[in-house]
Amino acid sequence: MSQARGYAVHNDKDTLKPWNFERRALGKDDVSLEIKYCGICHSDIHQARGEWGNSMYPMVPGHEIVGVVTAVGSGVSTFKPGMLAGIGCMVDSCGHCDSCRSGHEQFCRDGKTVYTYNSYELDGKTLTFGGYSDHIVCKASFLLHIDERLYLPGVAPLLCAGITTYSPIRRYGIGKGHKLAVVGLGGLGHMAVKFGAALGAEVTVLSTSASKREDALRLGASGFVHTSNKSETKAVAGSFDFTIDTVSAPHPYDAYLRMLKPGGIHICVGIPTEPIAVNSFSLLDGNKSITASSIGGIAETQEMLDFCAANGITSDVEVISASDVNAAYERVLRSDVKYRFVIDCKTLAG
């Protein structure tokens, strides 16, 4: 066992406060990582506040983790002390079902996907604690390799915001010749813009914040629609092949479906607390589809990190001290994030 220091909430009304807890002893197949940076995902806020109804406390959020390996178990050959490594949303799974063997550990058929926090280890009784902390012990096969040339704080959000948008973009082959709409310019949204543009798609941002127009264009979009401006939304009716919807709050799906071409596909990655409500005619008129996508498997996450290294892609981040995490949550909720907060984990000490 080792003593860890982190930030935790103890119930759904709590704010994050410093908290000391224990990490497991390094096992044969484990790696110990000194956490350098951890991104703040909107999912952290949903779960810290019990909005998905599955929260377990105390909770140390954080699943966008990058750091330096400090020790490896006797059975580990893929990492060595001193190497950079990352951890995303999962830290273990059964490893032998169809889903796990085909690289979709997030869909473990045995129901044994172990999430980085707010989850039980495979023993079914030990809670996992996430990356708002100074170090973590993790099975080596769930650790990702990071290219040292990339700006490390900007790599952390790739571990969730990156893979969650990269995965559906690759699955649907979105790229040259496609018109892609990205709904919501936050952590996930700005990564969807970067990936879509890097792969040659013509990207338009659909945003509730008129002030984000310039940023959208700088990030790689060629179009921007302020969704409360009726003439702007009318001008893009029937325009897009695909929509990646990153919105975290209830919103009107019919309005976005109207902007798809016939045969268009609306891909939900945002997880609002309300069920998705759609008028049937919004789908019937043009044989449109609405679907969803959940993070991405470990092999695909490595592929995404390698793609980022090859194309010089990182997240646009605002690095904060751990003591500013509650204020950062409030800014995320006001859609005032440019475009991901990342905790500098050395500020956890003391």
Interface ranges with ligand NAP (CB under 6 A): 41-43, 46, 160-161, 164, 184-189, 207-209, 212, 246-249, 251, 269-271, 293-295, 332, 335, 337
Cα–Cα distance measured from residue 322 to residue 222, given in angstroms and rounded to the nearest whole number: 36
Provide the 8-state DSSP code for 16. Answer: P
| DSSP state letters, 73-102 | -TT--S--TT-EEEE-SEEE--SSSHHHHT
Q: Where do we find the tokens 């009784």?
A: 125
- The 10 Å Cβ neighbour count of residue 235 is 12
* Closer of 189 and 223 to ligand NAP (Cβ): 189
Q: Closest CB to Zn ion among 31 and 41?
A: 41
User: Which residue, chain included where needed, has tokens 């003439």?
Assistant: 231
Partner in contact with 269, chosen from Zn ion, ligand NAP, none, beta carbon below 5 to 8 Å by kind: ligand NAP
- Residue 151 Cβ, how far from ligand NAP at the closest point, in Å? 19
Q: Does 236 bind Zn ion (CB under 5 A)?
A: no
Q: Which does 42 bind (CB under 5 to 8 A by kind): ligand NAP, Zn ion, none?
A: ligand NAP
Give, as one character, the DSSP assignment of residue 60: -
Measured from the CB atom, the residue of 118 and 204 that comes closer to Zn ion is 118
Window of 35-43, 126-134, 150-158, 166-174 that interacts with Zn ion by CB under 5 A: 35-43
Q: Which does 247 bind (CB under 5 to 8 A by kind): Zn ion, ligand NAP, none?
A: ligand NAP
Task: State the angle between helix axes of 161-171 and 298-311 in degrees (0 to 180), rounded to the nearest 10.
Answer: 100
Q: Which is nearer to Zn ion, 133 or 227 (CB)?
A: 133
Q: How far is CA 119 from CA 56, 60, 114, 159, in A?
A: 8, 11, 6, 18
Among 16, 41, 174, 205, binds Zn ion (CB under 5 A): 41
Residues lying near Zn ion in the complex (CB under 5 A) are found at 41, 43, 160
